[in-house]
Structure 1
Amino acid sequence: MKNSVITFPVPANEPVKAYLAGSPERVELEKELKRQSKLVVDIPIIIGGEEIRTGDVGKVTCPHDHKHVLATYHKVGKKEVEMAVKAAMKAWKEWSRTPWTTRAAVVMKMAELLATKYRPILNAATMLGQSKNIYQAEIDSACETIDFFRYNVHYASKIYSMQPKDGVGHLNHMEYRPLEGFILAVTPFNFTSIASNLCMTPVLMGNVALWKPSTTALLSNYYLMQLYKEAGLPDGVINFLPGSGALIGEVATQSKYFSGIHFTGSTETFNSLWRQAGQNLGKYISYPRLVGETGGKDFIFVHPSADAKAVATAAFCGAFEFQGQKCSAASRMYIPKSLWGDVLKDIKRMAKEVKMGDVADAKNFINAVIDQASFDKCKSYIDYAKKAKDAKVVMGGKCDKTKGWFVEPTVIETTNPRFKSMVEEIFGPILTVYPYDDNKVDEAVKLCDETSPYGLTGAVFGRDRLAVEKLADKLSYAAGNFYINDKPTGAVVGMQPFGGARASGTNDKAGGEFNLIRWIIPRVIKETLVSPTDYRYTYLK
């Protein structure tokens, strides 16, 4: 008999391991990197727990060594997506009614498995498949994923405990039901943790999912599926569908059981899925929940009172860690002309000190961009700047695809605050800087707020705290995650729930209880203890 009232207190964040040379975690990781480097994994479609191989295959390669094949994967067709819908709805019948503490226990086991057995496996797969260095993989595929598991259970505990008060002669309580259908989770390449969270947040709340993983993150995502199964997640609760996002989205949004999208990716793709959902509204059992984190053109705004060295460090790390492929990466900077010379000098110093290359060499701080499309896009912006009359490349700018998709950390300086690379999302290691006159702070901050359609992350630097406060107020809607005297990246689960508005998404804050609430439908139940038997009001008697 289960009659305990179980609560899950606020967890501690997973400690980031140091991976010093010769440490147990470093030895274990290097061993796993060698093991996975020798494999060509056959990645199947997984529907209702069954592995399906269509024979229509693609390849997964290392971004830093694009001739090195890590895996082959089988692509879904329309038939497989329709099968996945049926498998999900079959699993929904039991999973949606499974006690939430049982679901929580499964998720907590995932966290423990990842903190131990699966840590080197997921980190190595993320390094090889997504070209992340040791630290970037550790904070993503290990620590943040574990934090999502543990914190989401805590947030669920808080939500389920939110109950209305009772009245005289009656009892009230709130029941939190999962959505009446399946969730389509469309996940990005850049964070293994996000790929996991977009599936597992709805699942924790009793939902089932069709998972469209990014083709360029398939290796780590496939290992996540193995982790879920070992933790006890029932077959069919998550269905793993590699292949065309357009096909999967079209078939999924036509089903009457389509209940929502949990998405991270481009604004254009999210807009397309939203339109498809809108066109099919009449088919659905309920209005679908559309939750998305999309594009960004994240900024650093520097006040004349700022510390030049702090700005340089934030600009370098914020723009170039993981090759600028974070949703939150610094992509444009507004800086007083009086500070720009010293800041650029320091950025150049750091660029000369870091090394770029294969993730297997721990000395490499910079690795490759994800694929040829990304490489070509980055190169096109650099080439455009080199030819422009109102901009110049002041650092980096070299691109080499001989072995991997390598783009140097690049800084573009412009006299045009609406220059192409100041406005458009690039998603690569390119920072565009607009130096402004020191006495024109107000004009510059207005440009920062109005130039980009996005509103994801941003940072303000300054030692004059009152001036910083005024800037923060003027940039109130420019970023959903806002930083003062820090780089605009590095949100931590439980500390800075993540998401933005404007063209950056629905701002439902992954890593917070706001997101979990989107995946449930409340039902209020009132029970009258003694039912009335007289219709008359008191004064009529």
Structure 2
Amino acid sequence: MKTSSVVDDDLEPLTQDYGRDIFVRLRPSRPFPLSPRWWDERLMAWSMANPALKVQLFRFVDVLPALLGKPAEIVRHLREYFAEAGPDLPRWVRRLLPWLPTRGLLGRTLASTAEASARRMAARFIAGATVEEALRAIASMRRRKLAFTIDLLGEATITEAEAQASQDEYLRLIDGLSAEVNRWPAIEQIDRDDLGPIPRVNVSIKLSALYSQFDGMDLEGTTQAVCARLRPLLQAARRAFVFLNIDMEQYETRPATLHIFKHILDEPEFRDWPHVGIAIQAYLRDTLGDLEDLAGWARGRGTPVQVRLVKGAYWDYETIHARERGWPIPVWTRKSETDANYEACTRYLMEHHQFLRPALASHNIRSLARGLALADRLGVPTGRCEVQMLFGMAEPIKEALVRMGQRVRVYTPYGQPIPGMAYLVRRLLENTADDSFLRASFIEHLPQEQLLMNPLLKDERGTLNDTRHRASSILAARSSFANEPLTDFSREEARQAMRSALEMVAGRLGRDYPLVIDGQEVRPAEWIVSINPSHKWQVVGRCGQATEEHARLAIEAAQRAFERWRETPVARRAQYLRDAARLMRQRRFELAAWQVYECGKQWREADADVAEAIDFCLYYAQEMLRLGQPRHRDVPGETNEQFYEPRGLVVVIAPWNFPLAILTGMTVAALVTGNTVVMKPAEQSSVIGALLMEILRQAGVPDGVVNYLPGRGEQVGPILVNDPRTAMIAFTGSRLVGLHINRQAAEVAPGQTHVKRVLAEMGGKNAIIVDDDADLDEAVEGVVVSAFGYQGQKCSACSRLILLDSIYEQFLTRLVEATRSL
């Protein structure tokens, strides 16, 4: 791990001194017994002692916005969720749950009490729902010598109307707050730094809120759209002497966020404006590299920017998301590693404070003490660095730092409390996590020596529980098969690899691809011309058009190869598939690029298709090694053995929408089980079928075992299906054709010695059901992706939507807007 913090460095005594000084100045406040805050803290303490209860409590808080005005639903969810906590609930609560009333006066009272409790809890972390309420909270903080940064509640937008509304709201905040706050008396401690006055109004902005299609894969388009809405905000901020800070969100948005930040501030209009900043997350492994890049850029720009150094609020999401995609985990898996990295990043900021002005955002006294010690030792001018904390949290620490003369800025969320529940749940998770500093210091009352310990020592001594590490160890347990990771196109190196592949493939368009029968290339009289569906003038390639006679020759070749192939050892057949997967992996971007040209697939769709083809090869190889072992069921006097035998010739008829994945899956499943194949790709994607044939031949599959037979379905299809030597037909396509194949295969042809099998995956009508307590943001986005991803040209695409009456109009309105925003 790259870090400048070492266990026995000479800065440690000064760090400990600052830490003890903060602790001495703490004045913890306790709520009055039986007051609302007292009850809230009792509930939090109870949930922390019972992890299952905490999960259900936060589930209820998260779903509450969808249940407002429905007392019976509120009580029903309370009853169902908390029943799942089971033994973690006291016995009297378990007995009471089934009897909670859902209707009548008692039901309405219980529902309103639950709703009021959630609103009260939200009010602890959210400053207000209106500008007037936010101003009152800001005025109260300033009387306590606390600066602020205002944050407009809301996650990434899903429609352009919402993106425009976000920009309008940010402009109202900038103009409304500055008009009022700039008239208030100056407070030297928080309104000046070592160079002079600094903006009193500080606004934090999420870039994803400014563009509904924010996507790092389309860096140029995203930059252009975001800057179009960000530029007026910067102009308004400069006119009103307001500081703008760019928040950092999920890891996949990080490269685009950094790019946009630097891009727009390099514009002549803003190049000399210093009152801007960006959040950087220390729980990311890339953070020091990002700081080095920012410092070099700021030096070249000639004007400093502020860096708000945070630990990071999406640890669980980033870990699970990376595991799901098979990507390297971008965050440190131990809390102590994050803390150590935070200290290393703090040192870097202090060493480069002329270009990156440090804003230490943390409630961890050890982290803050280290920052103060570094500023002291490195001679950072007074006021150059500030501390930032969250609204409603760590009040005693804020007050202690103010009394020490530090500038403390409070991250102040503003918006409707109930719709802002996503923010509230993150704060509750932060407060109640096993490794939370606030929990350890104010609730569990761990000794100061332990709380101020160098984070690099924590792993060695095992002094703090680290549930994150335990969780990641559990997640790390995987089966021997792992899906091929999808490409992360938010990374520039991935986008460049795809661009290079597209350029290379463009130089190979228009070539001929003959039939391959019994290992020999056959050039027929007629050819299928494959056209790029996105550019009708562009010929992707010419593939041989098989005749009925070619179909019979392919069947004969596959039949001749069958006896030799069936006797090939299972391990050797599996190795052919592994070799094919290796070749696909080597040519991954090239194969995806061919799909872009021949099928009009977007980058992610094309990449996923190649990844799925690799998965089929590896999974079927692994499974055949398992299935290829005979099973014995012996009894006295008998020897019984169960084993699988290949069926013979398999005809594979594939669709064009998954031109490599489905064709590969049906083909290699037949091959590894000892069958031979006549492979007929769709007419529209026959070039990709030729590439698969090329890969299988390069992998060493013997001649005749696979035969490549592009052609018109109505011409060669009946010959392949009706031939008495065909043992099985694997088909993916329309219901009409699939049923026709099924009828034909059911007829026993003269000379046929077996019953043909048909595997037919046909079209359907796929429904998504949305309940009235669903997260509508996620549901709308999910429906749009499912229905219109790859233009809806998938058998799995959503084609029906079933909604409950209570959300019908609201959901439909947002769905239409989200679709219009594509």
Question: Structure 2 counterpart of 1:184, which letter?
Answer: V
Q: Which residue of 1 aligns with 2:661?
A: 193
Distance in 2 (alpha carbons) for counterparts of 1:217 and 1:255: 25
Once the two structures are superposed, what CA deviation does each residue of 1:25-67 show, in whole Å capped at 9, x if it has no partner? 4323212212222320211111111111112112101111111
Deviation at 1:253, TM superposition (A): 3.0
Residues 1:100 and 2:570 are matched in the alignment: yes
TM-score by length of 2: 0.40
Once the two structures are superposed, what CA deviation does each residue of 1:142-178 show, in whole Å capped at 9, x if it has no partner? x111111111122212322351322224432223211
Q: Secondary structure at the match of 1:177?
A: coil
Q: Which residue of 1 aligns with 2:535?
A: 65
Residues 1:295 and 2:775 are matched in the alignment: no
Deviation at 1:340, TM superposition (A): 2.6
Deviation at 1:20, TM superposition (A): 3.5
Deviation at 1:304, TM superposition (A): 2.6
- Among 495, 499, 503, the alignment partner of 1:34 is 503
Residues 1:126 and 2:603 are matched in the alignment: no
- Among 320, 345, 354, the alignment partner of 2:813 is 345
Deviation at 1:11, TM superposition (A): 1.2
Deviation at 1:281, TM superposition (A): 4.6
* Contact 1:92-1:208 at 8 Å conserved across structures: yes
Residues 1:309 and 2:814 are matched in the alignment: no
Of Structure 1 and Structure 2, the greater helix share is in: 2
Q: Which residue of 2 aligns with 1:210?
A: 678
* Contact 2:652-2:679 at 8 Å conserved across structures: yes
Q: Rg bigger for which structure? A: 2
Distance in 2 (alpha carbons) for counterparts of 1:326 and 1:266: 11
Question: Structure 1 counterpart of 2:506, which letter?
Answer: S
Q: Secondary structure at the match of 2:722?
A: coil
Deviation at 1:256, TM superposition (A): 2.3
Q: Which residue of 1 aligns with 2:688?
A: 220
Q: Which residue of 2 aligns with 1:109?
A: 579
Q: Which residue of 2 aligns with 1:171?
A: 639
* Contact 1:253-1:280 at 8 Å conserved across structures: no
Once the two structures are superposed, what CA deviation does each residue of 1:429-455 show, in whole Å capped at 9, x if it has no partner? xxxxxxxxxxxxxxxxxxxxxxxxxxx
* Contact 2:620-2:668 at 8 Å conserved across structures: no
Distance in 1 (alpha carbons) for counterparts of 2:630 and 2:773: 46
Deviation at 1:352, TM superposition (A): 4.3
Q: Which residue of 2 aligns with 1:137?
A: 606
Q: Among the aligned pairs, what percent are the same residue?
A: 28
* Contact 2:580-2:696 at 8 Å conserved across structures: yes
Deviation at 1:345, TM superposition (A): 3.5
TM-score by length of 1: 0.61
Q: Which residue of 2 aligns with 1:286?
A: 754
Runs of 4+ in 1 over 4 A off after TM superposition: none
For this pair of structures, how many residues does the alignment match?
342
Report the CA distance shift for 1:19/1:306 in structure 2 as closer, same or farther (over 3 A). closer
* Contact 1:182-1:209 at 8 Å conserved across structures: yes
Question: Structure 2 counterpart of 1:310, which letter?
Answer: E
Q: Secondary structure at the match of 1:98?
A: coil
* Contact 1:308-1:342 at 8 Å conserved across structures: no
Q: Which residue of 2 aligns with 1:236?
A: 704
Distance in 2 (alpha carbons) for counterparts of 1:251 and 1:98: 28
Once the two structures are superposed, what CA deviation does each residue of 1:394-448 show, in whole Å capped at 9, x if it has no partner? xxxxxxxxxxxxxxxxxxxxxxxxxxxxxxxxxxxxxxxxxxxxxxxxxxxxxxx
- Among 173, 179, 182, the alignment partner of 2:649 is 182
Report the CA distance shift for 1:232/1:349 in structure 2 as closer, same or farther (over 3 A). same
Once the two structures are superposed, what CA deviation does each residue of 1:224-267 show, in whole Å capped at 9, x if it has no partner? 11111111111111111111212222212332211010010011
Runs of 5+ unmatched residues, structure 1:
1-8, 355-541
* Contact 1:281-1:287 at 8 Å conserved across structures: no
Question: Structure 1 counterpart of 2:801, which letter?
Answer: M
Report the CA distance shift for 1:100/1:193 in structure 2 as closer, same or farther (over 3 A). same
Distance in 2 (alpha carbons) for counterparts of 1:292 and 1:223: 24
Task: Work out which structure has the larger RCO, using CA pairs closer than 8 Å and 6 or more positions apart in sequence.
Answer: 1
Question: Structure 2 counterpart of 1:18, which letter?
Answer: D
- Among 539, 548, 564, the alignment partner of 1:78 is 548
1:348-387 alignment runs, 5 A limit: 348-354=816-822
Distance in 2 (alpha carbons) for counterparts of 1:80 and 1:214: 17
Question: Structure 1 counterpart of 2:717, which letter?
Answer: G
* Contact 1:71-1:219 at 8 Å conserved across structures: yes
* Contact 2:530-2:541 at 8 Å conserved across structures: yes
Q: Which residue of 2 aligns with 1:265?
A: 733
Once the two structures are superposed, what CA deviation does each residue of 1:371-404 show, in whole Å capped at 9, x if it has no partner? xxxxxxxxxxxxxxxxxxxxxxxxxxxxxxxxxx
Distance in 1 (alpha carbons) for counterparts of 2:539 and 2:699: 29
Deviation at 1:306, TM superposition (A): 2.5
RMSD: 1.7
Q: Secondary structure at the match of 2:486?
A: coil
Q: Secondary structure at the match of 1:178?
A: coil
Q: Which moved more, 1:54-63 or 1:9-18?
A: 9-18
Distance in 2 (alpha carbons) for counterparts of 1:221 and 1:316: 30
* Contact 2:589-2:607 at 8 Å conserved across structures: no
* Contact 2:630-2:643 at 8 Å conserved across structures: no
* Contact 2:629-2:643 at 8 Å conserved across structures: no
Of Structure 1 and Structure 2, the greater strand share is in: 1
Runs of 5+ unmatched residues, structure 2:
1-478
Q: Secondary structure at the match of 1:261?
A: strand
